[in-house]
Chains A and B, each alone.
Chain A
Amino acid sequence: MLATLIRLLGDFDRAEEALNDAFVAALERWPTEGVPAQPRQWLVSTGRFKMIDRMRRSARFDASLAEIAERLAPAGAPDPAAQDEEEGVADDRLRLVFTCCHPALPADGQLALTLREVCGLTTEEIARAFLTTAPTIAQRIVRAKAKIRDAKIPYEVPTHADLPARLDPVLHVVYLVFNEGYFASTGESLTRLDLADEAIRLGRLLHELLPEPEVEGLLALMLLHHSRRRARTTGDGEIVLLEQQDRALWSRTEIDEGARRVEEALASRRFGPFTLQAAIAAVHAEATTAAATDWRQIVGLYDVLLRAAPSPVVELNRAVAVAMSDGPEAGLRLIDALFARGELADYLHAHSARADLCRRLGRTAEARIAYERALALSKQAAERRFLEKRLRELGG
């Protein structure tokens, strides 16, 4: 309903107020008048009329409001809220998602705005999940809305031609929400808001509205990661690495759905990086034990991923897979080549990967240096404890 009101009233804040007014009116009238045959339509209509009415009354003090009100409800025009329900709602929600994730908005604003307007989270909930304050989130939302208004970002779904480029930011926002959720759920924050669930919900909504292979690929990736949530940490919140996880704790329903979706996305032949990452996650999920993991296949998938989305981080992840498939020296050579190029100097996972490979090769002194470098870069408590444990195990 919010999405429809935003379209009808052309403004986020007005739409929120209108929705509030509509709920108030419903609480007053439905107990005596009964629930209408089409409650959603009633609410949207009521909200819209109340807002336009309010604007007309305020127009006595502000002439520009009269002009806007006239534009939103030209005299004699039929009620636009009374249009085709199903399609209209789906379109409005899609418009809302694409607008909130518009690349012209600052990235932190896209994230906050999407969680607020699409997922319906409160500012406080968002702040707690991102370990920041409500005023900080509120400011990001205000700035994002201001940019939408001032630079005239239109409230529309991109054309078919623009869709691939515009879909990317949306998928990245959803994945960011998912990844933030992981940290919140390791027990470091005080409340239990599950952003990961929120992201998956959003992924499902997106796929329903836009059945593109990459959307399905992202959904698969999130499901496969999520399937391991009970095995990733101990009861005390300590990190358990993939190779040590108790696979009996992996959720089979999510793995099955994730694997099925990966297959579908790959079959389309129009997939992208998210689908490939999901395919890699699926290979892990298929292995009944860590030793049974098909690392060759994973390396092959990373080769394709590197062509689709080249980046030092992907190269690093491939190097780790190469180490598992061809031995630690092979992986170490690749990681050191990255460092030599000046890449990933401040990326803690590069140092912890190097440390791990040196540790396996018995090169203790080098392992120690790399773990210490990783520790210096880590900001996450459970991660730090893990790295400190590794250092202790080295005898350092």
Chain B
Amino acid sequence: MRYLCLVYQEEKQLGSLSQRELDQLVEESLAVDEELKRSGHSLASDALQPVATATTVRVRNGKLSITDGPFAETKEQLGGFWLIEARDLNEAVQIAGRLPPAQHGSVEVRPVWDIRHQERRTDR
């Protein structure tokens, strides 16, 4: 039986960690993920870049609407996920627009934070 485990955190708090503390968090997460992948429990996992990098996609009456920022409708709740590969944001947005849930709800498109090879972006 599969479950989706969603990570919620206060970005401000994460941003106030020292580099050493952040590195430690990354190390520990990677280590746990290794174990969980080996045991067949972790099917897919990724960290995300902060909300400043988010874009929300909606399709209404056949028209694609793209807005800056995470989805913010309090009437909407998380319903599913797609982890996609795309060349850049334009392609990612086009793909998101094809997902049927975009017709009635919102699809937030957020770049993945490749914690092994990439810096975590901070709000500058």
Say whether, besides A106-B69, A152-B88, A153-B88, A147 and B53 are in contact (CB < 8 Å): yes
A107 interfacial by beta-carbon distance below 8 Å: yes
Instruction: List the A side residues contacting B52 at CB < 8 Å.
Output: 143, 146-147, 150
B27 interfacial by beta-carbon distance below 8 Å: no
| B113: nearest chain-A partner, CB-CB | A150
| A106: nearest chain-B partner, CB-CB | B68
Say whether, besides A104-B55, A156-B90, A146 and B64 are in contact (CB < 8 Å): no
Query: Cβ of B66 and Cβ of A104 under 8 Å apart?
Result: yes
Query: Cβ of A150 and Cβ of B64 under 8 Å apart?
Result: no
A338 interfacial by beta-carbon distance below 8 Å: no
B89 interfacial by beta-carbon distance below 8 Å: yes
Instruction: List the B side residues contacting A142 at CB < 8 Å.
Output: 124
Query: Cβ of B55 and Cβ of A151 under 8 Å apart?
Result: yes
In the complex the two chains form, what is the Cα distance from A152 to B92 in whole Å?
10
Instruction: List the A side residues contacting B63 at CB < 8 Å.
Output: 165
Chain B residues touching A, majority SS: mixed
Instruction: List the A side residues contacting B65 at CB < 8 Å.
Output: 103
B111 interfacial by beta-carbon distance below 8 Å: yes
| B93: nearest chain-A partner, CB-CB | A104
Chain B count of residues within 8 A CB distance of the other chain: 22
Say whether, besides A105-B68, A147-B52, A147-B53, A154 and B88 are in contact (CB < 8 Å): yes
CB distance from B90 to the nearest CB of A (A): 6
CB distance from B115 to the nearest CB of A (A): 15
B98 interfacial by beta-carbon distance below 8 Å: no
Which of A104, A147, A152 has the most B CB atoms < 10 Å from its CB? Answer: A104
B67 interfacial by beta-carbon distance below 8 Å: yes
Query: Cβ of B68 and Cβ of A107 under 8 Å apart?
Result: yes
Query: Cβ of A153 and Cβ of B90 under 8 Å apart?
Result: yes
Instruction: List the A side residues contacting B103 at CB < 8 Å.
Output: none
Query: Cβ of A150 and Cβ of B49 under 8 Å apart?
Result: yes
Chain A count of residues within 8 A CB distance of the other chain: 19
Instruction: List the A side residues contacting B124 at CB < 8 Å.
Output: 142-143, 146
A residues 86-114 with Cβ under 8 Å of B?
A: 103-107, 109
In the complex the two chains form, what is the Cα distance from A171 to B104 in whole Å?
27
CB distance from A387 to the nearest CB of B (A): 34
B121 interfacial by beta-carbon distance below 8 Å: yes
Partner of B66, one of A103, A109, A150, A152: A103
A sample of 24 cross-chain residue pairs with beta-carbon separation below 8 angstroms, ordered by A number, consists of A103-B65, A103-B67, A103-B68, A104-B55, A104-B67, A104-B89, A104-B93, A106-B68, A106-B69, A143-B52, A146-B121, A147-B68, A150-B52, A150-B53, A150-B121, A151-B49, A152-B88, A153-B88, A153-B89, A154-B87, A154-B88, A154-B89, A156-B90, A165-B64
Known: A104-B67, A147-B68, A150-B53. 16 other contacts (CB 8 A): A103-B65, A106-B68, A106-B69, A107-B68, A142-B124, A146-B52, A146-B121, A150-B49, A150-B121, A151-B49, A152-B111, A153-B89, A154-B87, A154-B88, A162-B90, A162-B94
Closest 9 CB pairs of A and B: A103-B66, A154-B88, A104-B55, A106-B68, A150-B53, A152-B88, A151-B53, A150-B121, A153-B89
